[in-house]
Chain A
Amino acid sequence: MTDKEIIEHLQNNKYSRAINGLYDILPSVKQWVRNNSGSADDAQDMFQDALVILYKKIHAGEFTLSVPLKTYLLAVVRNCWFAELRRRKKLPLADAADDIADDMTNEEPGLAIASSAFNFLGEKCRQLLILFYYQKKSFKEIARALSLSSENVAKNQKYRCIQKAKENYVTLSSNGSHE
């Protein structure tokens, strides 16, 4: 699969097809993350993060293919992982991050915090927010999928969840000042 085809698949939300073309680099990602004091799970996580970044960039029309896609993704993974390590306060060495991916991962700090805030939510809340904002499901569908008694319950639950995430956000950003 050519890089162009992979990008097209991502453009059209054909995740599985895109993964078929990109799966080959997962071993290199794992290898690299392991060599940089991460686990296989971390590697998976970073790989997915990198894919999300790539996807967003493509959909925002901000992506131009200047290096092979795999090189690009590996660079993004590196930056993501360094950011993650920094977050875990154990960045080993000031390893120079790749320039190609710099602009990608230097997202607004707010987004990184929001991501953590979101991840601190309970499973059900996360599911609900994903179903609503990402999958654009109706409250009726959400109620059925999450075994909630009614649409209204789902709707109220959604507000509670987002409220909780915002509280998490505030907590995280005030704690973050200690870093």
Chain B
Amino acid sequence: MNNNTIKIDSYLQGEMSPADKAAFEEQLSFDKDLREELAIHQHIINAATSAGLKASFAAAIHKKIVTRRLIRWGSAIIIIAAALFFVWKSGLFSDHEHEPNGEKHPTIERFNINPSADTIIETHDGVVFAIPAHAFATEANSIELEIKTALNAYDILHNGLSTRSNGRMLNTAGMFYINAVEGGKTLSLTKDIAVSVPTANVNPDMQIFDGVENEGLNSTTVNWVNPRPVDNNLRTYDVNTLDFYPPRYIPTLKALAKAYQNKKYTDSLYYSFSGYPHGAKHPEAAPPVEVKEEPKPRPNDLPQDTSKNPDSKFWRNVDAAAWPLRMDSSIQQDLADSTREFTYQIDPAIIKAIWDKKFNNTIIATKEFEERLRYMHSLCSSEYLELYLKNLNKPLYLIDKLCADHSSGDVKKKFLEFAAQKKGQVMIASDIQQKLTDYFQKKSRAYKEAAAKTWQKYQAKLEALNNSAYRKRGEAAFKELKRTEENFNQELCSNLTAAYAQLDIHRSCNDTILPPTTQYYNTTIRTTGWKNLDLYVFDATENRESMVYTDPNTGKTAKLTYREVNIKIDNPTQYDRVFVYLIPDSLSHFQRMPQQDNGFKEKLNSLFRYDAVAMAYKGGQAYFFKQAGLQPKEYQFKLSAISDVELRAELRRYPLNKGTELRTEFEYQLFEQQETARRLQYMKDVEFRAKVAASIFDCGEASTPVVIESNPK
């Protein structure tokens, strides 16, 4: 080493006395080598500074990467690495020799808790203790917990703790101490307490040690013994590979031969049930015209709408005031906010919100959560699920425990079983937890609203269709009535006129249409004959039967003849539907031929000349056949395709608007046919949805939650 280095450095650091400095600068002015060395020295200092700066950035980036990786892999538990667990009553921190005035251990935290309730405590540095009810051997209703934590080197050094185990150095991830005191006496522990210690970096080899005091000459040291592995982390999966459906949903779809393997389909179907059990209209709410004619589609097991019932067991159960558990205030607030929102079984909107890759690397994306969710689907409440969602950054078993504490009977048993698995957690940063919770809240609300809107829209459309069908039917029925009546009157008139003519009586039919008043005809004996004949003719017209009437006075005979025509359609099954109409020349309206067996039969009045038209539709294509001068015999009609324009032209040939009328009638029949199909489809849909709904909302079926038993109606 040359002396220049020391000189240059003290010059650059400003450590030289003014005299030395002046001398040095003097030397610089003529010593080229010294000037060069100074420059190099300065470069090196700059390089050291840059390297330091670079290290700072590297550390910041590393920190960021680690955080992200933890989130990405969900690898972390919080559980301590190499955390150290004190033997109870070892009293390390509370050792008064070490803590004469409390200044040495500034991190002591004291909590007053009710030992008969489940309690969760989080220390200032994020260590979480889950203390079950009656964990301490005491009957008191308030005890004091002393908790100390030393998670970093600074705290550990300040607490005078060693990191040695039987002489070997330990790489510690933190230490904590807990002691319970009642009336100055230390209490012993009778149940396990679950502890989570936060760490940035998880080392899977970390173990937990118990601390044992060794009395030394003038101080107490702690030896760490009895190492055990820490709790297992949860492994996360891609959330989309997990199954969050109610357990019976997919099997039901499979049984109904639906595309149960197509997740796009099963998702959209499932999410469409958001808000199904309450709020939206039930199938019966459709206009009355629908319901009268069709069987009620709803099976008994469809969930009942309980929203109108103030005594609803569900409401009572979620009453925030009745919430028995002690929790940190933020959870409690969250619950109070959320319970009003989700009160029944798990709404598909909630599932839609969490079945999202945003929840990858949270407890949601674990097989363990999947298992719990399957169970929760069978419960008549979504608040258990809410608990998991509100505590994404807590170990699963703690949340299991919360659920167990909130329930009773079989449900409690089940959640205790879950808790006993001691499943850990997926570490996520608390701001991310908050973001995810917000996201979930927002999304599930949005999905719910969207589902409700879609449902309303669907209902409105359905109602419009029903109303229009109702109106069209009414119009058609009225037209048909008018048509039949007018036809009847005209035919009766023709028949009467013909019958009278055969009896050599000249009367116009109008004479008989108006029935004479009883008073007037009482005095006129001859009128009985007319009356008699009218009735005969009336019956013949009404029943479309031939008649023979012999006038008792003249001996003359009047005959009316009705003979049957039978029309068969060539290959009728190929059409969606076939209609055959008779068009009598002397009547103002057509007659629709009733369909019998596999043909169309009607009795023709021999007084009239009839044409017949047959019309059919298949898909959108019209088919047509016409027969002029119909005779009372059997026909075979062979329909052929026809364009709408041609059909119109064909029908227009018939006089007295009969063609137009026929066209309207035909269109109405087609509408009716589609309407029937629509209603059938609708009923099928309703039935299908009811079946699926029963598989989704099957609370109280698979397993009866105790909350129901404890609140009998």
Contacts and interface: CB of A to CB of B under 8 A. Distances in A.
Interface of A: 15-16, 18-20, 23, 26, 44, 47-49, 51-52, 55-56, 108, 110-111, 113-115, 117-119, 126, 129-130, 132-135, 158-160, 162-163, 165-166, 169-170
Interface string B31-65: 00000010111011111111111111111110110
B112 interface: no
A57 B92 CA distance: 52
B1 interface: yes
Given A20-B64, A130-B52, A166-B40, A48 B46 contact: no
Interface string B1-30: 110011001000000000000000000000
Contact of A165 (B39, B44, B49, B60): B44
7 contacts: A19-B61, A108-B43, A129-B44, A129-B45, A133-B45, A134-B52, A162-B44
Contacts of A129: 44-45, 48, 51
Contacts of B41: 162, 166
Given A23-B61, A117-B47, A165-B44, A49 B54 contact: yes
Q: Identify which of B5, B39, B49, B51 gathers the most chain A CB atoms within 10 Å of its CB.
A: B51
A159 B9 contact: yes
Contact of A111 (B5, B6, B47, B64): B47
A111 B48 CA distance: 11
A55 B59 CA distance: 15
Interface in B237-287: none
A52 B50 CA distance: 7
Nearest to A160: B1
A165 B53 CA distance: 18
B701 to A, nearest CB: 50
Which secondary structure characterizes the binding site on chain A? helix
A46 to B, nearest CB: 11
Nearest to B58: A48
A16 B43 CA distance: 27
A19 B44 contact: no
A110 B43 contact: yes
Interface centre among B6, B40, B58, B64 (most CB of A within 10 A): B40
A106 to B, nearest CB: 16
Contacts of B39: 110
B9 to A, nearest CB: 7
A40 to B, nearest CB: 11
A159 B47 contact: no
Nearest to B36: A170
Interface in B75-113: none
A47 B60 CA distance: 12
A138 B136 CA distance: 50
5 tightest A-B contacts by CB? A134-B52, A114-B43, A118-B47, A129-B48, A130-B52
Given A51-B57, A114-B40, A132-B48, 7 more contacts: A19-B61, A20-B64, A51-B54, A114-B46, A115-B47, A118-B51, A166-B44
B54 A52 contact: yes
